[in-house]
Structure 1
Amino acid sequence: MKNLKKILSVLCIAVTIYSCSKDSPEDPVDQEPSKSNVSISTSTNIVTEPSANGSFLVTLSKAVNASTKVNYTITGTATNSEDYETLSNSITIPANSLSGVIAINVLDDNISEDNETIIITLTSTDNDDVVVNSAKTATITISSNTESFTLTPEDTATYMVNPNATDETIALFYNLKTLSKTNFIVGQQDAFAGFYNNNTGDSDIKKTTGSDPGLLGSDFMFITDDNNDGTPANWFYQQEQIITGDAVEAYNKGMVNIFAWHLREPYEGDHFYTSEMTDFQKQNAFKSILPGGSNHDYYKDKLQVVADVANSMVGNDGKLVPFIFRPFHEFDGDWFWWGASWCTAQEFIELWRFTVEYLRDTLNVNNMLFAFSPDRSYSSEAQYLSRYPGDAYVDVLGMDNYGDLNNMGQSGVDSANQKLQIIDKLAKEKVKIAAFTETGYFVTPGENNPISGFYANNLYQTITNNDIEMAFMMFWTNSQNTYVTPVPSLSSASDFIEFTDKPKTLLQDELPDMYTLPN
Structure 2
Amino acid sequence: MKNNIIIVIAVIFIGTSCSSQQFISNTNLSLSDKKATPETVSLYKKLNQLTQKGYMFGHQDDLAYGVNWKYENGRSDIKDVVGDYPAVYGWDLAGLEKDSPDNIDGIPFTKMKQFIEESHERGGITTISWHFDNPATGKSAWDNTPNSLKTVLPSGENHQKFTVWLDKAANYLLSLKDKKGKNIPVLFRPYHELTGGWFWWGKGNGTPEEFKSVWKFTFDYLQKKGVHNLIYIYNTSNFSSKEDFLANYPGDNYADIISFDSYQNNDDKQGEKFITEVQNQLKIINEIGIEKHKLIAIAEAGYEAIPDPKWWTGTLSQAIGDYKISYVLLWRNHGWQEKEQKMHYYAPYTGQISAKDFVDFYNLDKTLFEKDIKKN
| Same fold flag (TM > 0.5) | yes
AA aligned opposite 1:169 = T
Change (3 A) 1:147 1:258: farther
- Structure 2 partner of 1:261: 130
Counterpart-to-counterpart distance in 1, 2:354 and 2:20: 39
Picking from 229, 236, 244, the partner of 1:367 is 229
1:308 aligns with 2:187: no
SS in 2 for 1:297: helix
Q: Say how many residue pairs are matched.
A: 354
- Structure 2 partner of 1:457: 314
Counterpart-to-counterpart distance in 2, 1:262 and 1:157: 32
AA aligned opposite 1:468 = Y
TM-score by length of 1: 0.64
CA deviation string 1:389-426 (max 9, x = no partner):
11000001111001479535334312211211222222
AA aligned opposite 2:301 = T
AA aligned opposite 1:368 = L
Equivalence map 1:192-341=2 (5 Å): 192-198=63-69, 200-201=71-72, 202-224=75-97, 226-228=98-100, 234=101, 239-274=108-143, 282-341=145-204
8 Å contact 1:223–1:239 — kept in the other structure?
Answer: no
8 Å contact 1:189–1:218 — kept in the other structure?
Answer: yes
8 Å contact 2:29–2:294 — kept in the other structure?
Answer: no
8 Å contact 2:122–2:374 — kept in the other structure?
Answer: no
Identical counterparts, % of pairs: 29
User: Is the deviation greater in 324-333 or in 173-182?
Assistant: 173-182
8 Å contact 2:308–2:353 — kept in the other structure?
Answer: no
Q: CA RMSD in A?
A: 2.6
TM-score by length of 2: 0.87
- Structure 1 partner of 2:339: none
Change (3 A) 1:480 1:164: same
- Structure 2 partner of 1:420: 282
Larger radius of gyration: 1
Q: CA deviation at 1:219?
A: 0.5
- Structure 2 partner of 1:347: 210
Q: What 5-or-longer segments of structure 2 have no aligned partner?
A: 1-10, 337-343
SS in 2 for 1:217: strand
Q: What 5-or-longer segments of structure 1 have no aligned partner?
A: 1-114, 116-141, 229-233, 444-448, 515-519
AA aligned opposite 2:81 = T
CA deviation string 1:189-230 (max 9, x = no partner):
100113112355311100111111110000010222x143xx
- Structure 2 partner of 1:473: 328
Q: CA deviation at 1:480?
A: 2.5
As a proportion of its length, which structure holds more helix? 2
Counterpart-to-counterpart distance in 2, 1:155 and 1:512: 25
1:380 aligns with 2:235: no
Considering Cα pairs closer than 8 Å and 6+ residues apart, tell me whether 1 or 2 has the greater RCO. Answer: 2
Counterpart-to-counterpart distance in 2, 1:478 and 1:493: 14
Counterpart-to-counterpart distance in 2, 1:205 and 1:160: 31
Counterpart-to-counterpart distance in 2, 1:167 and 1:380: 36
Change (3 A) 1:421 1:165: same
Picking from 34, 40, 57, the partner of 1:169 is 40
8 Å contact 2:151–2:159 — kept in the other structure?
Answer: yes
